[in-house]
Amino acid sequence: MSGAEIVGWAHSKFGKSDAGSTRELMAEVINPALEHAGITARDVDGIFVGVFNNGFSKQDFQGALVAMAADGLDHVPAVRMENACATGSAALYSALDFIASGRGKIALVVGAEKMTALPTRETGDILLSASYREEEADVEGGFAGLFGRIASHYFQRYGDRSEELAMIAAKNHANGMKNPYAHMQKDFGFDFCNTVSDKNPYVAAPLRRTDCSLVSDGAAALVVAAPEVAAGMKRAVGFRARNHVNDILAMSRRDPIAFEGARLAWQKSLGEAGVSLDDLSFVETHDCFTIAELIEYEAMGLAEPGSGYRVIREGVTRREGRLPVNPSGGLKSKGHPIGATGVSMHVMAAMQLCGEAGEMQIPDAVMAGVFNMGGAAVANYVSILERTK
């Protein structure tokens, strides 16, 4: 293992926040993250910010907002990354590269998004910018419509798996009950998730409301440090492997239900780490829609294409199963403030590995997999994490 390690973190409550801007959201997590790592602002060599924005706010230049949100960071170089729904992981990986290059010893990573201030239709149009507008701008329902198409293609090829999608939704909502940061802390149960009703209508058939992640506000932060610095910290979580693999943006130019970029990212990271899925204690995966989690089972190697339904039916990914997936509740329950999501997923994993996950804690967690994707499996990030101190 080499490269920077996670030595501290902080996480806001996800949901509809009273905070009026990403600056205010960042202010909720920056100082707590520094305190958790046992450092001060003067110890930070670089700041890496993940905010998608793209119209959620007229204020941009988001990297510069960090110094406006916390004292002592005025002259620290700061940059902002954007990679659709993987924006947070893009910021994190850039911070890791910064330290690996020798340009700094400690970096602060902040992911944030303020999404709930706009009408639903405007929010949907902004999110659709993470698709290939030239061909996909006419999709009704925004990104839900895109994943509705993916679900339809999947069902046409492999059979209707609506029941299994409901099982995934029910699992993640049950897990979210244990997560104090989650947007939706409600256990809906399988029957509700599996039934189309006034309270659970189709959003983009065959996807129902319970198949879709939530529009949320929130922020998360990580402090990462060079190994020699991390050795003197209270806690440290290292990256046994990390890989970013892209795929073609236009769905017309690839098999939209293969998630080939995700498969390759998992393959590369597991190979570099020298481990298999059997060595992982849990996985935090990108369940922006339940069909995404189902296909991701196949991409990570838990099942052959078309057989992902068996994974949830057999209980493999339930909290008490062989490989718990999304013990945090995932995006489905925790929420999906775009820029914060990738950072949040790594925070959730680090909390588990350091035994600081409270009611969410997976007993004896020693190694984790994190999968965060931008767009419809376009920008794919896979981290294999383990505690080093």
d(CA 238, CA 387): 6
User: Does position 362 have pLDDT exceeding 70, yes or no?
Assistant: yes
Instruction: Note the pLDDT of residue 139.
Output: 87
133-161: pLDDT as tens digits: 999 988 888 899 999 999 999 999 999 99
Determine whether 85 is an active site residue: yes
Task: Please check whether residue 46 lies inside any domain of the structure.
Answer: yes
Residue 59 is assigned to a structural domain of this protein = yes
- The pLDDT > 90 percentage for the chain reads 97
Is residue 318 one of the residues assigned to a domain? no
Collapsed DSSP state (helix, strand, coil) of residue 43: helix
Residue 12 lies in a domain: yes
Instruction: Name the residue range of residue 85's domain.
Output: 5-117+216-230
Active-site annotation holds for 173: no
**N-term to C-term CA, the chain:** 13
> Dihedral through CA 344, CA 309, CA 385, CA 342, nearest 10?
-20
Domain assignment present for residue 310? The answer is no
Q: What is the pLDDT of residues 346-355, one digit of tens each?
A: 999 999 999 9
Residue with tokens 């294409």: 305
Which residues does 329 contact at the CB level (< 8 Å), separation at least 6?
172, 173, 175, 176, 177, 178, 179, 182, 184
Residues 229-276: tens digit of each pLDDT: 999 999 999 999 999 999 999 999 999 999 999 999 999 999 999 999
Total structural domains within the chain: 1
pLDDT given at position 370: 99
103 has a pLDDT exceeding 90? yes
Look at residue 317 in the predicted model and tell me its pLDDT.
Answer: 98
Predicted pLDDT of residue 142: 85
**Scanning the structure block, which residue is given the tokens 């947007």?**
183
What's 376's DSSP letter? T
Average pLDDT over all residues of the chain: 97
Query: Per the residue annotation, which of 85, 193, 212, 288 is the catalytic one?
Result: 85
Strand positions, DSSP E, 170-328: 202-204, 207-208, 218-225, 237-246, 282-284
* CATH number of the domain residue 111 falls in: 3.40.47.10
Residues in Cβ contact with 335 at an 8 Å cutoff, skipping those fewer than 6 apart: 14, 15, 182, 183, 184, 213, 214, 216, 218
Backbone angles phi, psi at 224, to 5 degrees: -120, 145
| Mean pLDDT value across residues 304-333 | 98
Query: Is 56 contained in some domain?
Result: yes
User: What per-residue confidence (pLDDT) applies to 2?
Assistant: 60
Instruction: Report CA-CA distances (Å) from 139 to 17, 115, 154.
Output: 29, 21, 18
> CA 60 to CA 55: how far, in whole Å?
9
Q: Identify the pLDDT of residue 3.
A: 87
Asked if residue 101 belongs to a domain, the reply is yes
Tell me, yes or no, whether 365 lies in a domain: no
pLDDT tens digit string along 53-82? Answer: 999 999 999 999 999 999 999 999 999 999
> What pLDDT is stored for residue 141 in this prediction?
83
pTM: 0.98
From the list 173, 183, 286, 336, the catalytic residue is: 336
Residue 198 neighbours by CB under 8 Å, 6+ apart: none
pLDDT at residue 320, rounded to an integer: 97
Instruction: Give me the residues paired with residue 383 across strands.
Output: 242, 370
Q: What pLDDT shows up at residue 345?
A: 99
Three-state DSSP class for residue 7: strand
Q: How far apart are CA 159 and CA 192, in angstroms?
A: 21
Rounded distance, CA 373 to CA 181, Å?
21
